[in-house]
Structure 1
Amino acid sequence: MQYDVASIIRGYAQGYFLMADDDDNLGWYGSNERTLIPLDDRFRYPKSLQRVLNQNRFQVAINRDFLAVVTGCANRKPTWISPSLQEIYWLLYQTGYAYSFETWQDDKLAGGILGIVIGSAFIGESMFFNIPEGSKVAMVKLVERLRIKEFKLFDAQMMNPHLARFGAYIVDDDEYNSLLKMALQIPCSLI
């Protein structure tokens, strides 16, 4: 199946995100509220995670194994990351929009976060771990990277208890679209 990168990016830039149903039918979804990860001093994490960070058990990489991160994110039941959506992520990666932010322990992929970059917005699609704490360390290191690179928005789409521990908060659709519009005007690079 052929996908049009410009149309896909336009959909994300308008505040929508792609999901697939159980039959691999893709659809655009919006929400009355969005979950954001703070890029300021509201970002926090458990003290136990600080001990893990101090141990330097994980190395960080960007796009070292993009496909493995996509596969890791899709490896759950049920999943909304269908084969078609995996193809789209690969296309977005090849055209410079999709990224995997990864943690490694020796030569083993410990965890990762899959996201799309448009302007100074990082739109987090999914995350996973193979080694305990792998995705949590990825989250902390990704936020550090987004701060250094002067990103304005980290969209996590939907709230869950894991994200709440990092200070994630909910904004309504109007505020989200305003923040997204501003972030789209400022070019940033994750690398």
Structure 2
Amino acid sequence: MIPPSLHHPLRTAAAALLTVTALATAPAPATAAPAEMRTVLRCRIATSGERPITFSPELTTQPRLIHVTGTFRVTGCTSPDGSERRLHDGVATIRGSGLASCSGATRITGSGKVVWYDTAGRRAGLSTLRPTLNAVSSYNPADALLVGTVTRGPLTGTSVSGSATPTSDLSRCASSGLSTVRGKGTVRFLR
């Protein structure tokens, strides 16, 4: 909001919490949207260089309540249907929690906000996001906060659909715990 090898459970938990704060070896396709919905905005997302996704306490093999925070750059936005041409880039902040371990996550809750900028770099508004999933069982549960609804600001009423892939080394989760992760992916806003 991103069935392969022995590290699948590690990717699953980290990916779930990666976007809980609203972002593997092979990327998974974005969550499918109903055929009658159209994409009004499509963007790339990536964790901010200086602000990776942070787990508190760190993610380990034992399930426990994990709080997650993070910041994402939202870039290269395009409006396939032409209705949202003014939104070009943004900064998304997310926070949330879930019962998580290296092998999975459930009871995912959280919220997110996106500060939008136009093509000239001027602020174009603030959107509030609400996730609609509380557990994810797909290959890429990073979609947990990349599946939801915009409840306020630009794009109000649109559905959010996305996927994210962890870009950090997740193998240390089982041995020493995981306190941060970086990731990238895509997100779509549909109406």
Shared fold, TM over 0.5? no
- Give the structure with the higher percent helix: 1
Structure-2-length-normalised TM-score: 0.30
- Give the structure with the higher percent strand: 2
Structure-1-length-normalised TM-score: 0.30
